[in-house]
Every structure is written in C-alpha cells, then in structure tokens.
C-alpha cells in the first residue's frame, strides 16, 4: 500500500508567480511519484474569488500529478485526518502550523510533522525595524519571533531555504531539528550568448522587501554602474509590481510585470 502524505498551505501553489510556490510545486511533483498526497488549501476559496488570475489551472496542475486537493471551505482538516492515516504532514508557514500542528498531533500522534518556514519571518521583520527604527516594527518582530520559535520547536522537522535561516533558528533552540531545502529548479541550458551589459532581477512584488530593493538599486546602485558601463540595461521581472516600481521604467530600465517563465530573461 502506498504511504500517504498531507500538505497544508494557505493556497495551492501559484508556481509561475512566486519563487516559494515554484519550490513547493516542484517538491510536490517529486514526492507524488512515490506517495499518495492530499493537499489542503486553507484560504484558497477566498483567494480564488478575490484574485484576477486564472486560478483553476493551478488546481488542475496538482490534480494532474494525482494529488487530492481540498479547500478550507469544502472540507475540514478533521474529516481529512479521520479518513486516512498519514506518514507525514507538511505545513507551509508558521501561521499555518500554529493552527494545524496541534490538531494533527492530537488526532494522529504517530504522524511526522514537518514545518516549512519558506521565509523566517521574524528575521525579515527585524531587518525592517533596523531600517525604520519604528517601535511598532520592533514589537511585531519580537512577537512574531516568539510565535515562530514556539511552533517550530513543536515540529518533528523544520525546513529552511537558506543556511543563514537554519543557523538563526538553531541558535534560538539547539534542540530544534532543522534541514535546508533550497529552491529547486530545472536547469535549462541557454540557447545563445546574452549581452554582457544586461542585469536581471527576478522577484514577485507581493513581498515588500523586493519593492524596497528595486527602488534602492535603481536610485543608488544603478547610477554608479552606469558611470562605468553607460550601455548597461536592467530588467525587473516579477508579478504585481506596484506603481513605485513601474515608475522606475525608462530607456535603460524595463519592468515586465508577470511573465509565464523567467527562462528567456536568464
């Protein structure tokens, strides 16, 4: 009998819009070859209604892998845990684990619970405070840290994308079981030689640090590069660029917005 895995996340992975979602979809693709997978998308019903993207194709992409997909509105986690016994439960983000880790531990104590940080949130929030010096930002960073470390410490395994994130978590709790699972991408050889005077940034703009990064780069760093390489071209690739990023566009800066694949730009 094929062993079963449970994935719990806020939405189904929008694999061509966000780096973290592509990573998750690739993990699911790999594991689906060896396991029977149930995927529970907590917020997908509301997300699908509110967003102007073609949402059905993301659900079909999971179903085409043989994955059972359920939404928070259509099925409860209790009914899912009542119906099957799972070898492991993967939970995306600490705030998802806060809700569902205790339930899995109560209903299926032998189920191995893995929490995928995706991004260690309190570190990012602390870096924001280091820039703003806003007391509210510091309070949010400290509160988030307490919540994250608490739930990670209850997991059987914690995944990080980077070695730096892993080291920070283990410094907080040396007993925490942490492993690094970076972004997973198919390697596609380039078809030709790109011009040497091109720079590309790839990042979705629902992630606020990417907005700050582009404004800072274009205002402070790119002018220095252009003094040395006047013909340099800079392309900003990523979905949902806000007006302040769109405003960076000029003769040597191109803002693409959403693209179905980053490969042509790389």
Domain boundaries, the chain: 4-180, 198-265
* Conformation bin of residue 92: beta by default, left when phi > 0, alpha when psi is -120 to 50: beta
Summarize pLDDT for 55-75 with one digit per residue, the tens. Answer: 788 999 999 999 999 987 778
Q: What is the pLDDT of residue 188?
A: 72
Band of pLDDT at residue 197, cut at 50, 70 and 90: confident
CATH superfamily of 4-180: Glycogen Phosphorylase B; (3.40.50.2000)
20: pLDDT strictly greater than 80: yes
Separation of alpha carbons 169 and 176, rounded Å: 8
The pLDDT tens digits of the residues spanning 180-195 come to 999 887 777 766 665 6
What is the pLDDT of the chain when averaged over all its residues?
91
| 261 confidence band (pLDDT: 50, 70, 90) | confident
Task: Check pLDDT > 70 for residue 167.
Answer: yes
Q: What is the DSSP letter of 193?
A: P
224: its two tokens: 């220095």
Q: How far apart are CA 14 and CA 112, in angstroms?
A: 26
Q: Where are the beta strands (DSSP E) in 21-71?
A: 36-41, 68-71
pLDDT in tens, 205-225: 988 899 999 999 999 999 999
């Amino acid at each position: 009998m094929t062993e079963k895995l449970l994935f719990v996340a806020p939405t189904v992975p929008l694999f061509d819009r966000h780096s973290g979602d592509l990573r998750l979809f690739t993990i699911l693709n790999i594991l689906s070859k060896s396991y029977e997978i149930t995927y529970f998308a907590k917020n997908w019903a509301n997300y699908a209604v509110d967003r102007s993207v073609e949402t059905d194709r993301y659900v079909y992409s999971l179903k085409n892998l043989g994955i059972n997909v359920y939404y928070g509105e259509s099925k409860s986690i209790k009914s899912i845990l009542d119906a099957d016994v799972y070898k492991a439960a993967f939970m995306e983000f600490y705030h998802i684990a806060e809700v569902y880790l205790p339930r899995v531990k109560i209903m299926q104590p032998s189920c191995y619970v893995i929490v995928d940080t995706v991004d260690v949130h309190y570190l990012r929030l602390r870096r924001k405070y280091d820039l703003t010096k806003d007391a509210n930002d510091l309070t949010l960073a400290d509160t988030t840290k307490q919540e994250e470390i608490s739930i990670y410490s209850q997991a059987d395994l914690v995944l990080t994308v980077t070695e730096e994130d892993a080291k920070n978590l283990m410094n907080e709790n040396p007993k925490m079981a942490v492993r690094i699972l970076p972004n997973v991408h198919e390697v596609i050889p380039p078809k030709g030689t790109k011009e040497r005077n091109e720079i590309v940034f790839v990042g979705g703009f629902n992630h606020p640090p990417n907005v700050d990064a582009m404004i800072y780069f274009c205002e402070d760093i790119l002018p220095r590069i252009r003094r040395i390489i006047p013909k340099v071209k800079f392309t900003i690739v990523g979905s949902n660029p806000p007006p302040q990023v769109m405003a960076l566009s000029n003769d040597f800066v191109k803002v693409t917005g959403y693209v179905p694949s980053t490969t042509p730009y790389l």
